[in-house]
Amino acid sequence: MKRQRLRSTAWTVTCFLVGFAAGRRLGRQSSGESDTVPASRQIVHDANDAIVSTDGSYRIVMANPAAAALFGTTVEEMVGSPLTRYIEPAVTDGNADTGVDAETDADEALDVFRAGSGRAGRRATDYAVTGLRADGQRFPIEGSLSRANEGTPYYTVIMRDVSERTRVQEKLTRSHDQLRQLSAALQTIREEERTHIARELHDDLGQILASLRMDLALLQQADSTPDDSLHLMRGMEQNLLTAITSLRRIATNLRPRALDEGGLYFALKGLRDDFVERYGIPCTLLADEAELRLDDAASTAIFRIVQEALTNIARHAQASSVTMNLFRSNSELLVTIRDDGRGIRPEDMEKAESLGLIGMRERVWAMNGEISVSADEPPGTRIDIVLPVHGHLV
């Protein structure tokens, strides 16, 4: 952040010096004085930033090649044109006619640049205006303004295209929104899981234990016959088996036993078998058990990534087959999941509600890995994941 402020300050100082030189040269030319600083002409001409000077009525009297390139035109075309031909006072919705005269529009645009000279820690984009290229394309501009008052007043504006910065900020804002929604969704899922577990414990284990208690109370009665006691014990045994089955099912839903007992390979096999049984979609697992011997943290993360991918396929892909390929190359695990469904569009991956993809991406990034999701040929979706596992081998 400190380096960014220093860079911004350096550019502001450079803008002031170049603008002062350009305004001073124009002022001297207008008053008939000889140009005593010919180097200023070369400075303005060779500057990487766009430099434009206008007279008091905001008509362009000087523009450097960088300005012409910025607006997609020529220096000759720019000189003599009104400033409003190339900048607007603010970003608009595409309406060219605002109903305000050109001089007022230009003055409003320059007011934005005047405000930028005293930023006081605010973002540079707070002072951006809209540029107009020769082909009508609009784009955001950041600028700095200087004024020369030697004779006729001249304004010199030094500008930069900040389109890329704007795109990055928009992407960052969208990413923050997605993370907030993901966090909210995770909270909701956690509460739903707690409710589900509580219901299962109450409906299954609670009722079974209550029944066992009643049977035990009957057994303790002195007047019960041997046949009645045997019948009660058999019922209690069946209830105990049911309770054990329910307990295992609840525990497996929370965390697959295969992850702890057999490792990642067998957990993925169980996940594949459950996917086929539940959704009726053929699924092929291509993997080697020896290559998937990883520690608990990596095994759990990879299992959840694949689980989320299969859940997304079942919900959205309309696929008739799935292939999962996991193999290790040196110290990286390469994971490819493909389906032959309807495919995925680029805009689908940017949707705020695509929480499954966001969750997968966050898990991959947490392991310092890379993930790409793309439409496959023939129609379908392909997920490619690269995970560094050199520190997770067992």
CATH number of 109's domain = 3.30.450.20
- Are residues 391 and 317 part of one domain? yes
pLDDT of 64-99, one tens digit each?
999 999 999 999 999 999 888 888 765 444 444 444
At residue 31, the pLDDT reads 46
Question: Among residues 219, 239, 254, which one ends one of the domains?
Answer: 254
Q: Answer whether 369's CB lies under 8 Å from 270's CB.
A: no
At residue 74, the pLDDT reads 93
Give the closest residue to 160 by CA, choosing from 105, 116, 98.
Answer: 116
- Are residues 366 and 228 part of one domain? no
Instruction: Look over the chain and give the mean of its residue pLDDT values, rounded to a whole number.
Output: 77
Structural domain total, the chain: 3
Please state the length of the chain: 394
User: Within a 10 A sphere around the Cβ of 287, how many other Cβ atoms?
Assistant: 19
pLDDT of 145-156, one tens digit each?
787 766 677 888
- Are residues 387 and 316 part of one domain? yes
Distance from C-alpha of 289 to C-alpha of 312, rounded to nearest angstrom: 25
- Are residues 51 and 79 part of one domain? yes
Question: Among residues 138, 161, 184, which one ends one of the domains?
Answer: 161
- Are residues 6 and 155 part of one domain? yes
- For position 379, which CATH number holds? 3.30.565.10
- Are residues 58 and 115 part of one domain? yes
- Are residues 62 and 182 part of one domain? no
Contacts of 111 (CB under 8 A, 6+ apart): 89
At residue 32, the pLDDT reads 46
- Are residues 206 and 70 part of one domain? no
- Are residues 350 and 333 part of one domain? yes
Q: Which residues of the chain have pLDDT under 50?
A: 1-17, 20, 30-37, 91-100, 118-126
* Structure-token match 């105990």, residue found: 240
Distance from C-alpha of 268 to C-alpha of 148, rounded to nearest angstrom: 73
Contacts of 233 (CB under 8 A, 6+ apart): 215, 219
Give the closest residue to 303 by CA, choosing from 331, 329, 333.
Answer: 333
Radius of gyration of the chain from Cα atoms?
A: 35
Give the residue numbers spanning the domain of 34.
2-161
- Are residues 307 and 201 part of one domain? no
- Are residues 79 and 97 part of one domain? yes
Q: Answer whether 366's CB lies under 8 Å from 318's CB.
A: no
At residue 283, the pLDDT reads 95
Question: Among residues 254, 285, 309, which one ends one of the domains?
Answer: 254
- Are residues 146 and 176 part of one domain? no
Threshold 0.75, pTM exceeds: no
Helix (H, G, I), strand (E, B) or coil at 177: helix
CA trace torsion 167, 168, 170, 175 (10° rounding): 140
Structure-token pair, residue 334: 């390469």
